Amino acid sequence: MATASLQRTARPIGRASFIRRIFSVDSLAQAIFFIATMAILAVTAFLVWELWTQSGPSRDKFGLSFLTKTEWDPVAGNFGALPFIFGTVVTSAVALILAVPFGVGAAIFLAELAPPKASDAMTFLIELLAAVPSVIFGLIGIFVLLPMLNVIVPVLKDAGLGVLPIFSGPFYGVSLLAAGVVLSVMVAPYIISVSREVLLAVPRDLREAALALGATRWETTWDVVVPYARRGIMGSVFLALARALGETMAVTMVVGNTPKIAKSLLAPGYSIASVLANEFAEATSSLQVSTLIELGLVLFGLTIVLNGAARLLIMATGGKVSQ
């Protein structure tokens, strides 16, 4: 009898404990964060689904040849994405080639060498630069950068760079090079800001241990701090790459908007984001609208592929560093 009484009294207590566990603060917080995460995934899936379905007419007509064709003729209804993919990749690559050395160098200076107060002040100004609207960079590119390039590029060509294919041909200002330079100014603040925070997060014990072994301040920074923060620095670079791939207005204003593949950086070009901004509102046929939507899908896929490759590269590099 006593055992049965204990079992009857234990059941309500067990149910009450189970209910308390369900509605506890930890469980509610976990549920809320899970819903938020799934909402982000759902929005991403919805975007991909909409781009896929709306680009159906273009995919049905051109198939995979859409990615390799170079002709863009709205009048004849013949469209190819390769010039825009080429322009997007080239301008982003030029931007990273120019921005990474300056960005990482500035981050090292601000984190390791500059006085703390000066570092904080300069970092604040750099982060403000990241908040400037892209159209302002486009205007600066038109009124400041292009006149400068019109003076600098002929001098560099006469100095010997003109023999290189990427610097061959006439230069009229608007070009893939101009778009890459503007993008480099736009993405450098992201590299500097993120890399600086990563460098500051390196444990102080590592610095003190290197200095105690007789290393100079620069040797400590270059041989100890930077390798330890390599993964984070690479992450900042690919964050900047994602920013460059999707940039629209600044690139549109200085790239030349010519759907051709040129071997020279001095020639005008076009990017996926620019053609979407220029032609979507003025598309004259449903096929052209579908083609532009497919270009958006291509840009989405290009961004995913490059960021996925960046993640794999960071993981591989991190494994080598840890070994």
Residue 320: pLDDT band with limits 50, 70, 90: very low
Please give the pLDDT value at position 21. 60
What pLDDT does residue 12 have? 52
Report d(CA 110, CA 119) in Å as an integer.
5
How much is the pLDDT for 18? 55
Please provide residue 23's backbone torsions phi and psi, each rounded to the nearest 5 degrees. -100, 20
Q: Are 183 and 252 in contact (CB under 8 A)?
A: no
Q: Does pLDDT of 6 surpass 50?
A: no
Q: For the residues 18-25, what does the mean pLDDT come to?
A: 60
Helices 82-108 + 230-245 axis angle, to 10: 140
Segment 115-129, tens digit of pLDDT: 888 888 998 888 888
Contacts of 109 (CB under 8 A, 6+ apart): none
- Whether the per-residue pLDDT at 284 is higher than 60: the answer is yes
Yes or no: say if 197 and 235 are a contact pair by the CB < 8 Å rule.
no
Considering the chain, what is the average pLDDT of its residues? 85
pLDDT at position 25 is: 64
Region 91-112 average pLDDT? 93
Radius of gyration of the chain (CA): 27
Kindly tell me the number of DSSP H helices and DSSP E strands found in the chain.
Answer: 15, 2
Tell whether the model's pLDDT for residue 318 goes beyond 90.
Answer: no
Average pLDDT of the residues in 251-255: 92
